[in-house]
Amino acid sequence: MSGRETSRRLESVGMRVDMVGAVCLTHEHDDHCTALSVLSRRNGVALYANAGTVDAIEKSGKGPGLKWNVFTTGSPFTIGALGMEPFSVPHDAYDPVGFVICDGRARMGIATDIGMATGLIRERFAWLPGDRRRIKS
Protein backbone atom coordinates (compact mmCIF):
# COMPACT_ATOMS: atom_id res chain seq x y z
CA MET A 1 0.00 0.00 0.00
CA SER A 2 1.07 3.56 -0.55
CA GLY A 3 1.57 5.99 2.32
CA ARG A 4 -1.73 7.66 1.41
CA GLU A 5 -3.61 4.35 1.43
CA THR A 6 -1.98 3.39 4.73
CA SER A 7 -3.18 6.69 6.23
CA ARG A 8 -6.67 6.20 4.83
CA ARG A 9 -6.95 2.70 6.27
CA LEU A 10 -5.66 3.79 9.67
CA GLU A 11 -8.19 6.63 9.72
CA SER A 12 -10.98 4.16 8.90
CA VAL A 13 -10.32 2.48 12.27
CA GLY A 14 -9.88 5.71 14.22
CA MET A 15 -6.08 5.94 14.09
CA ARG A 16 -3.51 8.26 12.53
CA VAL A 17 -0.05 7.59 11.14
CA ASP A 18 1.51 9.64 13.95
CA MET A 19 0.12 7.04 16.39
CA VAL A 20 2.25 4.28 14.80
CA GLY A 21 5.61 3.82 16.50
CA ALA A 22 6.96 0.82 14.60
CA VAL A 23 6.37 -1.45 11.64
CA CYS A 24 7.49 -5.09 11.75
CA LEU A 25 7.89 -6.33 8.21
CA THR A 26 6.97 -9.93 7.43
CA HIS A 27 8.63 -10.01 3.99
CA GLU A 28 9.84 -7.83 1.13
CA HIS A 29 6.99 -7.99 -1.40
CA ASP A 30 5.74 -4.65 -2.75
CA ASP A 31 2.32 -4.91 -1.10
CA HIS A 32 4.09 -5.00 2.27
CA CYS A 33 6.83 -2.40 1.84
CA THR A 34 5.70 0.33 -0.57
CA ALA A 35 4.96 2.87 2.19
CA LEU A 36 8.08 2.22 4.28
CA SER A 37 10.00 5.29 3.10
CA VAL A 38 7.07 7.59 3.80
CA LEU A 39 6.36 6.03 7.18
CA SER A 40 10.00 6.10 8.26
CA ARG A 41 11.25 9.39 6.84
CA ARG A 42 8.17 11.58 7.17
CA ASN A 43 6.62 10.08 10.27
CA GLY A 44 9.59 8.69 12.21
CA VAL A 45 8.19 5.16 12.33
CA ALA A 46 10.83 2.61 13.41
CA LEU A 47 11.32 -0.27 10.95
CA TYR A 48 11.95 -3.87 12.04
CA ALA A 49 12.84 -6.77 9.74
CA ASN A 50 15.17 -9.77 9.60
CA ALA A 51 18.42 -9.61 7.61
CA GLY A 52 17.03 -11.55 4.61
CA THR A 53 14.14 -9.13 4.22
CA VAL A 54 16.36 -6.05 4.64
CA ASP A 55 18.83 -7.41 2.05
CA ALA A 56 16.03 -8.12 -0.44
CA ILE A 57 14.58 -4.62 -0.03
CA GLU A 58 17.96 -2.94 -0.37
CA LYS A 59 18.91 -4.99 -3.45
CA SER A 60 15.59 -4.13 -5.11
CA GLY A 61 16.08 -0.40 -4.54
CA LYS A 62 12.72 -0.13 -2.72
CA GLY A 63 14.09 1.51 0.38
CA PRO A 64 17.48 3.15 -0.08
CA GLY A 65 18.90 4.64 3.09
CA LEU A 66 16.23 3.35 5.44
CA LYS A 67 17.30 2.78 9.03
CA TRP A 68 16.55 -0.78 10.11
CA ASN A 69 16.23 -2.53 13.43
CA VAL A 70 17.29 -6.05 12.44
CA PHE A 71 16.00 -9.04 14.35
CA THR A 72 16.87 -12.72 14.03
CA THR A 73 14.09 -15.09 13.03
CA GLY A 74 13.35 -17.39 15.97
CA SER A 75 14.82 -15.00 18.57
CA PRO A 76 12.42 -12.92 20.67
CA PHE A 77 12.92 -9.16 20.91
CA THR A 78 11.00 -6.27 22.41
CA ILE A 79 9.51 -3.04 21.12
CA GLY A 80 8.59 -0.93 24.11
CA ALA A 81 6.35 -3.05 26.36
CA LEU A 82 5.61 -5.59 23.62
CA GLY A 83 7.39 -8.91 23.32
CA MET A 84 7.85 -10.03 19.73
CA GLU A 85 8.39 -13.66 18.69
CA PRO A 86 9.31 -13.89 14.98
CA PHE A 87 9.01 -17.34 13.39
CA SER A 88 9.39 -18.75 9.86
CA VAL A 89 6.37 -19.11 7.59
CA PRO A 90 6.04 -20.63 4.11
CA HIS A 91 5.95 -18.00 1.36
CA ASP A 92 7.87 -17.17 -1.80
CA ALA A 93 10.11 -14.55 -0.21
CA TYR A 94 13.70 -14.48 1.10
CA ASP A 95 13.04 -15.05 4.80
CA PRO A 96 9.31 -14.54 5.52
CA VAL A 97 8.11 -14.46 9.12
CA GLY A 98 5.01 -14.34 11.24
CA PHE A 99 4.88 -12.84 14.72
CA VAL A 100 3.41 -13.62 18.08
CA ILE A 101 3.04 -10.38 20.02
CA CYS A 102 2.65 -10.40 23.80
CA ASP A 103 2.12 -7.66 26.37
CA GLY A 104 2.22 -9.97 29.40
CA ARG A 105 -1.58 -10.20 29.57
CA ALA A 106 -2.53 -11.31 26.07
CA ARG A 107 -0.92 -12.81 22.97
CA MET A 108 -1.79 -12.25 19.33
CA GLY A 109 -0.44 -14.10 16.30
CA ILE A 110 0.04 -12.70 12.81
CA ALA A 111 0.94 -14.75 9.73
CA THR A 112 0.34 -13.16 6.33
CA ASP A 113 0.33 -14.59 2.82
CA ILE A 114 0.53 -18.24 3.84
CA GLY A 115 -1.05 -21.01 1.85
CA MET A 116 -1.42 -23.35 4.80
CA ALA A 117 -0.86 -23.42 8.54
CA THR A 118 2.31 -25.39 9.19
CA GLY A 119 3.05 -27.25 12.40
CA LEU A 120 5.29 -24.37 13.49
CA ILE A 121 2.50 -21.84 12.93
CA ARG A 122 0.04 -23.98 14.88
CA GLU A 123 2.59 -24.34 17.69
CA ARG A 124 3.28 -20.59 17.87
CA PHE A 125 -0.42 -19.74 17.85
CA ALA A 126 -1.31 -22.27 20.55
CA TRP A 127 -2.26 -20.64 23.82
CA LEU A 128 -3.00 -22.41 27.05
CA PRO A 129 -5.53 -20.72 29.38
CA GLY A 130 -3.70 -19.20 32.31
CA ASP A 131 -0.37 -19.16 30.44
CA ARG A 132 1.12 -15.73 31.12
CA ARG A 133 4.51 -16.14 29.54
CA ARG A 134 6.49 -12.92 29.29
CA ILE A 135 8.99 -12.64 26.49
CA LYS A 136 12.48 -11.61 27.50
CA SER A 137 15.02 -10.29 25.05
Residues in the chain: 137
Residue 131: predicted pLDDT: 55
Average the pLDDT over 101-106 and give the result. 89
The C-alpha atoms of residue 95 and residue 9 are separated, in whole angstroms, by: 27
Q: What are phi and psi of 34, to 5 degrees?
A: -60, -40
Structure confidence by residue, pLDDT tens digits, 2-23: 778 888 989 999 999 889 899 9
Does 86 score more than 70 pLDDT? Answer: yes
Q: Report residue 137's pLDDT band, with 50, 70 and 90 as the boundaries.
A: very low
The angle formed by the CA atoms of residues 50, 34 and 8, to the nearest 5 degrees, is 120
Q: What are phi and psi of 133, to 5 degrees?
A: -55, 140
Average the pLDDT over 104-131 and give the result. 77
Question: What number of other Cβ atoms are within 10 A of residue 10's Cβ?
Answer: 15
Do 27 and 47 touch, CB atoms closer than 8 A? Answer: no
Residue 73: predicted pLDDT: 95
What's the Cα-to-Cα distance from 90 to each of 29, 87, 116, 117, rounded to whole Å? 14, 10, 8, 9
Does 83 score more than 70 pLDDT? Answer: yes
Does 32 score more than 70 pLDDT? Answer: no
What's the Cα-to-Cα distance from 41 to each of 6, 47, 92, 120, rounded to whole Å? 15, 10, 28, 35
Average the pLDDT over 66-78 and give the result. 95
Domains of the chain: 3-125 (3.60.15.10)
Average the pLDDT over 97-105 and give the result. 91
Do 95 and 107 touch, CB atoms closer than 8 A? Answer: no
Q: Which residues contact 65 (CB under 8 A, 6 or more apart)?
A: none
Residue 136: predicted pLDDT: 45
The C-alpha atoms of residue 71 and residue 9 are separated, in whole angstroms, by: 27
